[in-house]
Chain A
């Protein structure tokens, strides 16, 4: 029942995610953040099983930090994405697979390119200009297809994001009260205003 969405521009990647923390029919929290900074230029948005998500994201974060301390420089976006992918691929082949889907927003400080990675719980990965996880994806991808361009500004990307949210509000059975929005660019990871549906 989670929904996460990412849009990549010329020099930024915007990630947005719903803030519900629910178990079955009970909504425990409406302001729960499911995004985590893995390092200064890597942002992970997770959907799926809540407990698995926390475990997975924190473990990945600490290992990416360890890499940085060991080697003296940040893990590059491509390396981190593949590391995360392998972690999930190993997990699905284990006795207790992690049920976590991930959108990874990155800014590669060496090639000076933003990147968006779509990684799912089975360990499949795609580098994409925009993506979404969850049932909400069914409603959003068509909308973004219609309005997306690589050269769009951050405000334009946010307005497309809002269009998706309006559509979800109208046609999706789950009520998302608010969305956490963050952006990754050359300066790092920034928090944007929450979008209240």
Chain B
């Protein structure tokens, strides 16, 4: 009986805030960082991998998951909440194809997840999802790469490049400074920019990074540790050279 009259957990504050949603966004800010960068024909998702405890198996439970053959997602925040969303999204991808014979567009599945998230900010007895997602992929009938971001409030936006999770602001500022259409014209450029952006936060290097490369028509490609390390070597070298140049010029 009382179940039906559970007060909504997410109610407005006197000054117009939904505190539960804002707290959920805080939860996201404590999650490990995830970066997405869109190039001319490539999308790269780079996520921070938390260091594993000594006795723990280094599981390949990734923060980069496939929702459908052509849509990939990275998330930041509560992993368990994300699992629920991922499951719902995967079913919806198949259900959509069953009904209309077309694979979902990236925007459609983003909108679907956002709708679920919004419902949970306006339902009895439920709390918002503490997850932000970065969805990446190519629509079935187009060569245009797409990145979308969702937040716990249920907002969604399309981005050229973005970061979520801890220190997302730092990474985002870095991307704003360093993103240009020239740099991301080639696959290598996109990968390098994404790793470089994540490197701002994940100082420890390749062993704490997972990098996924998405291209039209091919399967999702996860870069090996060695490949990531080689990019990082190049990035570090460039940094040193830059530092030398500054030292030399700033006399």
Contacts and interface: CB of A to CB of B under 8 A. Distances in A.
Interface string B126-165: 0000000000000000000000000000000000000000
B243 interface: no
B94 A63 contact: yes
A69 B68 contact: yes
B195 interface: no
A62 B98 contact: yes
* Consensus secondary structure, chain A interface: helix
Interface residues of B, number: 11
Interface in B59-91: 66-68, 87, 90-91
B90 A70 contact: yes
A28 B168 CA distance: 60
B180 interface: no
Given A69-B67, A69-B68, A70-B87, A58 B98 contact: yes
Contacts of A78: none
Contacts of A65: 94
A62 B94 contact: yes
A69 B98 contact: no
B98 A59 contact: yes
Nearest to A69: B90
**Interface size bucket, A side?**
under 10
Nearest to A70: B90
B67 A62 contact: no
B91 A66 contact: yes
Interface string A58-88: 1100110110011000000000000000000
A70 B89 CA distance: 11
Interface string A95-129: 00000000000000000000000000000000000
A69 B70 CA distance: 11
Nearest to B97: A62
Nearest to A66: B94
B95 interface: yes
B62 to A, nearest CB: 10
Nearest to B62: A72
B94 to A, nearest CB: 4
Contacts of A70: 87, 90
A25 B90 CA distance: 42
Interface in B184-243: none
B138 to A, nearest CB: 17
Interface of A: 58-59, 62-63, 65-66, 69-70
Given A58-B98, A62-B98, A66-B94, 16 more contacts: A59-B98, A62-B94, A62-B95, A62-B97, A63-B94, A65-B94, A66-B90, A66-B91, A69-B66, A69-B67, A69-B68, A69-B90, A69-B93, A69-B94, A70-B87, A70-B90
Q: What 4 pairs across the A-B complex have the smallest Cβ distances?
A: A62-B94, A62-B98, A66-B94, A69-B90
